[in-house]
Amino acid sequence: MTNKSTFAADAKPATKPSRRTFFLTAGVAAGAVAVASQTPLGKAVIQEVGSAIAPQADGYQLSAHIKKYYETTLI
């Protein structure tokens, strides 16, 4: 009767994260952000940000394309 350990055979090697997993996770997160921005709460946040940035006579002007950019960057 031999008493061999089967621990080494049962152990699974640690897998390191792959690029595919990273991009899959990033894609899922981006989709979740896009869905969240279309909810009533997300739209309210977008409106609040838009009203907080008042246009100034000189310098920075909040135009339509800049406002759209800000909407795409919200998390």
CA distance 72 to 30: 10
Angle (nearest 5°) at CA 40 between 38 and 45: 85
Number of Cβ atoms within 10 Å of the Cβ of 70: 13
How many Å apart are CA 22 and CA 15, to the nearest integer?
14
pLDDT in tens, the chain (75 residues): 555 555 555 556 567 778 889 999 999 988 888 887 788 887 887 778 777 766 556 677 788 898 889 888 887
DSSP state of 38: T
The pLDDT assigned to 54 comes to 62
Residue 62 near residue 53 (C-beta atoms within 8 A): yes
